[in-house]
Structure 1
Amino acid sequence: MNRRNFLNQTGKAGLSIMVLSLAGDLAFAAEPQTGKPVLAGQPCRNFNILARTSVIDPKDNREKFLLSNFADGETGNIILIDVKTGKGENFPLPVGAGAWGLVNWHDNKIIVGTCTEQAYLHVFDLKKRKWAEPIISKGESYFWQMGLASDDKVYGGTYPGCTLTQYDPATNEFRNLGKVSNNPENQYSRPVYCQAPGYVFVWYGFNTKGIKVYHINSGKIEDFGEPDDTIKEVNTEFICVERKAGLAFYDAKTLQPLPTEGYEEKMEKTHIKIQNGEWCSFITLKNGRLAGVRGQDYFITDAPKNNADYSTPVNVALKRIPVEAPPTTIMSLTHDEDGKIWGSCGFGQTIFSFDPKTKKYWNSAAVCKNGGEVYGMVFANKQLHLSAYVGGDLMIYDPKQPWDQLGNKNPKLVGSVAPDLIRPEAKSILGPDGNVWTGWSAKYGVYGGGLSSVNPVTQEVKSWYDPIPEQQITGIAADNENIYFTTNGHASGLPYNEGIQCHFVVWKPGTGIVKDIPFEKGVALNRALLAIDGLVVFSHKKELSIYDPGKKEIMKTIPIEDYTDLLIRLSKDTVGIFTNDALISLNVRTGAMAEICKVPGEVGAATVLPDGTVYYSAKSKLYCLKQG
């Protein structure tokens, strides 16, 4: 599963709102020549703060707001912000994109756990400003949230092993305590709670869900609560869990049930309502003030005088994170009618633009209040339509108007398909009816998917759940009559469903499915799907199938040398196929194939300008290719 100069805008009631943007000069490595790709630069830059705490810095004895930043596809960092002066320090990690795991060990060491390709544990000596050698958790991709328990050791959860880990900062000893669920389908152990002396609590999922408790003295891991419970709070007095019947409380010493009366009022406040009515999480600083992060900005504000005031909106001053944002993976690419390139970040919920004429770029603030990333980007009615994970959000942004996401004006949230659908896996396309269509994957722990459409004029949102039961929609395309989509067995929080048959589907707006072609079990379809020259091309295994809408059948299948997840339209009848190391052309009528150029690894996104110029991305790098 991540950034700028800022524009200062004034909101209602004279509130000064810092809106994230980035304008920079970005030179080509060389002037583009026909058939020779060149590096355009790294215009996608943002912050994606996954964890935060505070420290008393031993270097100057001043309190610092500590942020852990995830830089998707690149190297993450931690950031120290002086809570009085606002000055920041930036410390890149030795390796790894970043982390949810962050622990302050006695204002002496900072413990950081990273994701996504390999789970690394990093230890930063605050006084020396030096990183220790990384610790590798074998077989794990993610460290999730971490906590400091009563034995002065750091505990954390993992993916995909669903384990509990233990790290002793005093001895530098790391242990994997084993899987916390007996269900082999469960891959997640998150979050971990360490506030109750003698115990560590960990939630697991997503095939089945529940809570385990680790007894520090005995080393035993046992069930806690009831199946499907989730933890709401753990402290030195009680444990609060959520279940369908409501909240339940347990004694933090004996782990025995408690009466519900009187304990809910004692629960810690963790969120404050800001000026637009949105709830933001915070930590409490040593001086009693509250510090939090909203997207690309941070805030420090006075705490409300009493508990009731936490639900009263507070005008917080959002300030830019005071260090340079790193480059991050480009998730999606498109272009506007003027030839400007638009894209989204691989994690961090921001978008960017790049002007090929001036070589300048800009990066936005968060496009919505939910975390995640923008998958779908389509221009319709001269406005940019966005679809985003994790809230199933559908937004419209007008580049010609001032940015005002905080006021839900620009970009404007026009609807959501959550909770049933959360991940716009297939991204978005412009349909034959003029609406923007998106293909979705279901919520965590559920096999399934769906479609949504947004009318660019009326902004009406419609959705269809599970057109192919228990399969996500992975690819989507359109011609002047139909929507086409492919399905597969991937799901959020679950292993791939090997028992299903993937489908190629023809969907007519206003009617629904008009053609459904299932494939044999074991044949996986993906996002590579393109309507071109009256035909439809899609990928499976190391093959491309070509579907004829007129004959309503697959007319031929063409072998290719490598796997592809991305197809582009190079000309009227020519498809561009991105493999792991090359861009290959395919004439859909003649079947003729030729290598156009080499590419630097897996290409994540691409767009083709009206003059045929191709822009494509590999991680954070944007490349330009002029066709002959």
Structure 2
Amino acid sequence: MMVLSIASELVYASVPKAGKPVLSGQPCRNFNILARTSVIDPKDNREKFLLSNYADGETGNIILIDIKTGKGENFPLPIGAGAWGLVNYHNNKIIVGTCTDQAYLHVFDLKKRKWAEPIVSKGESYFWQMGLASDNKIYGGTYPGCILTQYDPATNELKNLGKVSDNPENQYSRPVYCQAPGYVFVWYGFNTKGIKVYHLDSGKLEDFGQPDDVIKEVNTEFIAVQTKTGLAFYDAKTLKPLPTEGYEAKMEKTHIKIQNGEWCSFITLKNGQLAGVRGQDYFITDAPENYSATVNVSLKRIPVEAPPTTIMSITHDDEGKIWGSCGFGQTIFSFDPKTKEYWNSAAVCKNGGEVYGMVFVNKQLHLSAYVGGDLMIYDPKKPWNQLENKNPKLVGTVGPDLIRPEAKSVLGPDGNVWTGWSAKYGIYGGGLSSVNPLTQEVKSWYDPIPEQQLTGITADHEYIYFTTNGHASGLPYNNDIQCHFVVWKPGIGVVKAIPFEKGIALNRALLAMDGLVIFSHKKELSIYDPMKKEITQTIQISDYTNVLVRLKENTLGFFTNDVLTSLNLKTGKMTEVCKVPGEIGAATVLPDGTVYYTCKSKLYCLRQA
């Protein structure tokens, strides 16, 4: 499904004046449904499909969809980008726990259609999944504190029940299971992994199962756990082991197979139908007799307006059209500067996450995406048909060992598209991949610099260049490593690796231009000369930068939190180009020198003087 819109609500300068940036609009709009359930709406006693939407960088919302009429209602949150935590409290209140930056807990009165004052969970950035336990209280997990929270709707009190893991390196407590009367189960990770059980009567938090076990299901009869050797079952009342025979067949069905063999999760409605979400669309369908058979669901667009969301990456095509990706939600968009029309895609692949890398080759757009380590090719001139893996087409994956294309992607000297990666959750490491645009062959190299993720990537006519650092998914920053600037030759591998002192963290700001390679660390720019094979200069700048662009010949542009500055690479002269509204997420420069850059969900245009 594709959506074409005209950004008529914004005022534009039709021909921006040289040297003065103008707002082009907010063309990146999508849904990112992190949780769903159903409610019997007290206003009309009708069942509604309830969705919790995350709007990266903006304000999230909840959506009510009438399962009979398909009509939708939209209710923006008081504050916060959105929620993993979502609980239907007796068809009376909706409890929402938000994530990123600050964890807020929101309470929505269904009958009054009104939000209560937000509750702040101090020190926590994320609320993860939440559940209603048998004591009529709501429990949830968090990041980065790895704690178990308790919310009592009767008193409107939120309690911190403490860290669920003794390992200080563990930051995640997720998910939480509340279906067994008398207990709350919570999984933790990612440095070490395991399960804890919280006893509602005593308030004790105890180990459950063995290290690395993962809960598959909790219900009123049994707890199903995936162990290293297979499934294990425990009695939901006594927590004692059960024989394995017979219980696997009793496990709840949670996924159906839809078109092209893709498995999609669902909830069961009161009338027995199944309801689910796939990217920008939802479905309601009858339950199949055979859950392993394909169900041809009818995907329908979520029936409210998609909010603006943060722009993750941008590039441009040969016609001057801007292309970008959403900060969370696995979609891409295009924006036509001439007409001000924008288009937003459906999900680019079946995995959740976001598109980091975007490179045009032969008029086709190469995409690299988190969380599955997916590599795709999209042809804008052909009809969208992702569901059948035709357009965009998944050409390969570097998962599960590599999952996050942190460094994004670049066109290499060999004509291949190269991407720099971070390793899977709980692992320090990274890798490099290449896609041949003609043959669509995918190759990958794991840990070229051991236990370090790739954070920036660029290329010239001969080499690939990348930087590394100590970040990792699910783990705190590794301060014990030395970050590297690396020169890689296709067909050979690492030809030079320059280590930096401990404590100096390199980032994504890396650019090859006019015979030099420039990269950033702290409040400095380093310049590497490929001919001399050494860093020839380090230049002090006013602030941290994460985005570099080539403004014109021998002129670098770098964005700090409030200004775009040009640097003449020959003379060393710096000049303020223009003020910017905050931290810039991405930028691209058209052949005529026009600069497009992003700040959260907003796209700006600058015609150079």
TM-score by length of 2: 0.99
Query: Is the CA contact (8 Å cut-off) linking 1:52 and 1:67 kept in structure 2?
Result: yes
Counterparts of 1:129-528 in structure 2, within 5 Å, are: 129-305=113-289, 309-528=290-509
CA distance in 2, matches of 1:503, 1:387: 23
Match of 2:35 among 20, 35, 51: 51
C-alpha deviation, 1:410, in angstroms: 0.2
CA displacement, residues 451-480 of structure 1 (integer Å, 9 cap, x when unaligned): 000000100000000000000000000000
Q: Which amino acid aligns with 1:245?
A: T
Correspondent of 2:555 among 554, 574, 578? 574
Kindly indicate whether residue 579 of structure 2 is the aligned counterpart of residue 595 of structure 1. Answer: no
Distance in 2 (alpha carbons) for counterparts of 1:90 and 1:359: 26
1:21 alignment partner in structure 2: 3
Following the alignment from structure 1 to structure 2, what is the Cα–Cα distance between the partners of residues 241 and 25?
A: 50
Query: Are the equivalent residues in 2 in contact too, given 1:28–1:38 (CA < 8 A)?
Result: no
Q: Distance in 1 between matches of 2:344 and 2:373?
A: 22
- Displacement, 1:143? 0.1
Q: Deviations over 1:490-509 (max 9, x none)?
A: 00000000000000000000
Which amino acid in 2 is paired with 1:344? S
Distance (Å, rounded) in 2 between the aligned partners of 1:447 and 1:351: 29
Offset, 1:276: 1.5
Aligned residue type for 2:189: G
> Contact conserved, 2:430 with 2:452, CA < 8 A, in 1?
yes
Give the letter for the 2:159 counterpart. R
How far apart in 1 are the matches of 2:414 and 2:259? Answer: 39
Paired residues for 1:33-182 under 5 Å: 33-182=17-166
SS for the counterpart of 2:18 is coil
Q: Equivalent residue of 2:577, what SS?
A: strand
Identical counterparts, % of pairs: 85
Alpha-carbon distance in 2 for matches of 1:275, 1:553: 54
Shift of 1:255: 0.4
Quick check: 219-228 or 20-29, which moved more?
20-29
Q: CA deviation at 1:243?
A: 1.3
Contact 2:84 2:98 in 1 (8 A): yes
How many residues align? The count is 607
C-alpha displacement of 1:22: 2.8
In 2, Cα distance between equivalents of 1:36 and 1:28: 15
Name the CA distance, whole Å, in 2 between partners of 1:21 and 1:419: 32
Name the CA distance, whole Å, in 2 between partners of 1:322 and 1:569. 42
Letter paired with 2:7: D
Please give the secondary structure, in 2, of the residue aligned with 1:276.
helix
**1:284 corresponds to which letter in structure 2?**
T
Following superposition, the deviation at residue 259 of structure 1 comes to: 0.8
Question: 1:410-444 CA deviation, whole Å, 9 max, x = no partner?
Answer: 00000000000000000000000000000000000
Distance 1:315 1:456 in 2: 33
For 1:518-568, what per-residue CA distance to the aligned partner results, in whole angstroms no more than 9, with x for missing partners?
000001000000001100000011000000000000000000010001101
Counterpart pick for 1:611 among 577, 584, 592: 592
TM-score, normalisation: structure 1: 0.96
Q: Is the 8 A contact 1:381 1:457 kept in 2?
A: no
Task: Report the CA distance between 1:216 and its aligned residue.
Answer: 0.3
1:28 to partner: Cα distance: 4.7
Using the alignment, how far apart are the partners of 2:313 and 2:149 within structure 1?
A: 35
User: Equivalent residue of 1:379, what SS?
Assistant: strand
CA shift in 2, pair 1:210/1:403, >3 Å = same
Report the alpha carbon displacement of residue 20 of structure 1 after superposing the two structures with TM: 3.1
Alpha carbons 1:20, 1:296 under 8 Å: kept: no
- Write the letter of the residue equivalent to 1:29: Y
Question: Could you list the per-position Cα deviations for residues 286-324 of structure 1 after superposition, in whole angstroms to 9, with x for gaps in the alignment?
Answer: 00000000000000000012xxx1010010000000000
Task: State the alpha-carbon separation in 2 of the partners of residues 281 and 402 from structure 1.
Answer: 26
Q: Secondary structure at the match of 1:551?
A: coil
Tell me, in whole angstroms, the C-alpha distance in 2 between the residues paired with 1:424 and 1:180: 30
| Cα deviation, residue 174, structure 1 | 0.9
Q: Give 1:106's aligned amino acid.
A: H
Q: Secondary structure at the match of 2:476?
A: coil
Deviations 1:335-368 (A, max 9, x none): 0000000000000000000000111000000000
Query: For 1:441, what is the secondary structure of its paired residue?
Result: strand
State the SS of the aligned residue for 1:492: coil
**C-alpha distance in 2 between matches for 1:99 and 1:218:** 30
- In structure 1, how many angstroms separate the alpha carbons of the residues matched to 2:509 and 2:576? 18
Segments of structure 1 that go 5 or more residues without pairing to the other structure are: 1-18
Matched residue type, 2:404: R
Q: Could you tell me how far apart the structure 2 residues matched to 1:604 and 1:312 are?
A: 43
The answer (yes or no) to whether the contact 1:372–1:389 under 8 Å persists in 2 is yes
TM-superposed deviation, 1:129: 0.2
CA contact (8 A) 2:146 2:173 kept: yes
